[in-house]
Structure formats: structure tokens, C-alpha cells
Structure 1
Amino acid sequence: MRKTIAIFGVMMALTSPVWASSDDARLTVTGQGIAEVVPDTARISLGVTKDAAEAGDALDQVAQVAQDIFARLAEQGIEARDMQSSQINLSPKYDYNRNSDTPPKLVGFSANTTVSVRVRDLTKLGPIMTAVTADGANQLSGLQFDLQDRGPAEDTARTNAVKDAISRAKVLAEAAGVTLGSVVSIHEGGGRQPTPVYGRMAMEAAQSDMPIAAGELEIGSSVTMVFELDQD
């Protein structure tokens, strides 16, 4: 009989809830904050691709176009620090005859280079994209708006995230019938990055020299806060 009672006591200990004291009660919430700001800078990625029978000729043609683009950008007021060659590629081109068992035939080479440009005066963005395409840039792979100094906007987003977390905590505490206590900890999560504009929109803007609307950027922040709770 004693053995049966002992086993029953162990089972009760395993299945019964353990209630924390009011001093240990915590509430964890996550708040989101956003700062809406007008961008003051943009980054565009320009590509140049040339085909030739010889590898050297393909590279020389790409190099010449790249030099013309750099010169044109300088004329538009772009400083050397805002122009950067990001990659240079050279690949063979083959003629594949599907109706023949003969191996593919080398017919030439394709050379490519990519130039990244930061534009600090957005009023020049459309004309710059038009000018460089006229000089031989035949690829526009990206257009991304940003801020030269993200610090103030990020601080505003953090402040809004903390306010949001506190507001959520107050609502939850009131609904649970407890009193919100002091802040135990604050942990900052990742922020939201500006969204790039790709492909067709950028190409059409360059070809037509149409004005480009930068709109607003949403700089985001996330915080997780832990509060003490007092039983009412």
C-alpha cells in the first residue's frame, strides 16, 4: 500500500502546474516602429556587354564603353568616389547544332562589366541614366533609393518601436488584470531595408529620360521588451 501511495505522489508532482510567485511574473512583448523619410541619394547598377570574334576585341570594346561612361558621369558631376567597377566577365560563345553529332563550334566571346554609381543629387538621376545608355550601357540591373545619413531616421524608428511595445504591454496587462511594472530588458531586432527597384522600370526611365519619383522610404525597427508584472 505504501508503494502505491508513493507512486501516486510522484505522478501528482509531475502533472500539477507550478505557479510562480508574483515577484517572478514577466510579460514579453515585441514592438514595431517605422520612420517615413524622403530619400536623398540613389544607387544604380549599369552593365555593358559586347560580343566579338576574339576575346581581346570583346574586352577592348567593353573597356572603351566603360571609359566613355566614366567620362560622362564626371561631366554630370559624379565624383570618382561614387563610381565603382564591380565585376568583369569574359565567356566563350558556341554554336550548338542540334541536328548534328559534331561538337559545339566556338564562334566568339562575350565580355561584360558592371558599374555601380551613387547619385547624390536626385534631380540628375533621369538625365544621367539617359546619358550613360547613349554612351553604350545596355543593361540596368537595379535602382535603389537610400539616405546619405540613416542615423536620425533609424533613431526615430527605434523610438516608435519602443512606444509600440509599451502600448501593447499596457493593453495586455490590463486585459489580464495585472499591473505593468518596471522594464527588465530591451532587445533590438533587425530593421527594414529600403526596397530596390529593378529591371523594366529602370530601363524605361533611362530610355525616355522621364522623371523618376523617389517617393518615401520606410526605415523600420523592432524591439523586444520584458516587463515586471504586479498582481492587483
Structure 2
Amino acid sequence: MPLPRTPAAAALVALLALGVPALAAPTAAAAPAPPAAAVRLAPVSPATVTVTGEGGASAPPDLAVVGAGVEASAKTSQAALETQNKAAAALLGAVRAQGVADRDIRTESVFLNPVYDYTGSTARLKGYQAAQSFSVKVREVARTGAVLQAITDVTGDAARINSVAFGLSDPAPLRARARQAAHDDARTKAAQYARLSGRRLGRLVSLSEDASSSPRPVPSAGDTPGVGTGAAPVAPGEIRATATVTVVYELD
């Protein structure tokens, strides 16, 4: 007696009768293979060379700054001030007559002090001392000696010459030349070390300025403008600026 067929069994028989192979039972899905572990390689740091470059530049000064003044003493404060005022006015007139513009003349200090005699057991007032000092810019360096002489000629014993400093009205170009020289010196050194190492100089990695000096006078034994009749001798010398840099280059 034939067994009763279920709908699923009947469908399977029909498929076999038609020549369609039976579908295999699904198998469990295969687990995905674990990803390959990523391997990270440390980057290779390029070889470098570090050098220090030094450079300097010089130029003749185009400016002189004269520190000058007058001083007077008298029994009374009023008399000391009057004498000092006359000497100061004479000083100003002398430097202006030498071609110094008003914008280049500046009062630095004015004072009036009592003067005491301390030789005895008690201090004794002797009188008063009045003074005034000026900063005078001489933009024609060759006239510096003439300006100094003119000051002393018109103020006599009241004259005080405190300082003479030579410089540049615009020091920036000289500083730039010093930096250029320091940079060139550093690159030349780095290129030499690269050749000695059998390598070639690569790209610039870093550059830092270690020091840069303000232009300063350098005495010289050259000509002394202002020397001659009616002029005090002066020696302007040269103004020099220096720079130091540290650079790092790669080596190819």
C-alpha cells in the first residue's frame, strides 16, 4: 500500500520526472576569513647636515650724533641761569650756522643745583650751578669737526662735549647684507660637508637666526673729515653689522 505523499514530496517527484536535479540542502555559510594584519613600516628619516653661518657687512657712516652742552656757576641761582642761558643760545646759534636743522637738535637735560663747600665742620652754600645738554645730529659727517669747533668757539669755558657717535640714518640695508653673508656662508659649509660625505645637498629643512648685531662703529685709520683750519679732528671709521644663522639641509 503506497504511503501518502506530502505536498513537498510530490513536488520533488515531479521535478525528478522532468529531469531537474534535486537542489542540495543549503549548508551553513562559511565564516569570512580574518583580514591580513596590516604591517606598518617606520618612515626612513633622511640624512641631514646642520651648520652655522656667520657674516658681516661694513659701510661708511652718514650720520654723527654729538652730545654737547653748557655749564655755568654763579653766586645766585638767577645769575647761574642767565649765564647758562646765554651760553646755550650761543651753542644753538653756532650749530644752526653750520647747517644743522632744528629737527636735528634736541634738549636732553636741564638742571640747576646748589653747590656746597664741605671743607669745614658744616656744609656751606657756595653758589649755584646751571647746565643744559643737547643732542645734535650732523647729517654731513664731514662737517662734524667744524660743528664741534663752532660749539667751543662760541661758548668758551662753558662748553661741554660729552660724546660723538657715528652711525647710519637707515641701518636696515647694512643688516640685510650681513644676513645675506651669513646665509651664503652657511650654504657653502653645508655643500662642502655634503661633498665630503659623498652626497648632494638637498632641500632646506630649517633656518634660524641666532644673533644679529646692530650696526656699530669700527675705528679705522683712514682720512679724517673735518680736519683743517677751524675744525676739530674726528675719525668716523666704518659702521659694521654682523649676523649668525643655523641651517639644516637634507642630504640626497
- Which TM-score applies when normalising by structure 2? 0.68
Residue of 113, 117, 121 corresponding to 2:132: 113
Partner of 2:89: 67
User: Within 1, Cα distance between the matches of 2:228 and 2:67?
Assistant: 12
User: Within 2, Cα distance between the matches of 1:22 and 1:90?
Assistant: 75
Partner of 1:33: 55
* C-alpha distance after superposition, 1:129-183 (max 9, x if no partner): 1011112252212111112232322221111111112223334455566654322
After superposition, residues 37-116 of structure 1 pair within 5 angstroms as: 37-97=59-119, 100=120, 102-116=121-135
Partner of 2:182: 161
* C-alpha distance after superposition, 1:68-113 (max 9, x if no partner): 111111111110011111111222211112xx5x321121222222
Paired amino acid for 2:174: A
User: Within 1, Cα distance between the matches of 2:137 and 2:198?
Assistant: 54
Identity across matched positions, percent: 32
Paired amino acid for 1:223: V
What root-mean-square deviation, in Å, do the aligned CA atoms of Structure 1 and Structure 2 show? 2.9
Of the two, which has the highest radius of gyration?
2
Unaligned segments of structure 1, at least 5 residues:
1-19, 198-204
Partner of 1:170: 191
Higher relative contact order (CA 8 A, sep 6+): 1
Shift in alpha-carbon separation, 1:207–1:141, aligned structure 2, 3 A: farther
> Is the deviation greater in 52-61 or in 87-96?
52-61
> Is the deviation greater in 121-130 or in 77-86?
121-130
Structure 1 or 2: larger helix share? 1
Shift in alpha-carbon separation, 1:107–1:32, aligned structure 2, 3 A: same
Unaligned segments of structure 2, at least 5 residues:
1-41, 220-226
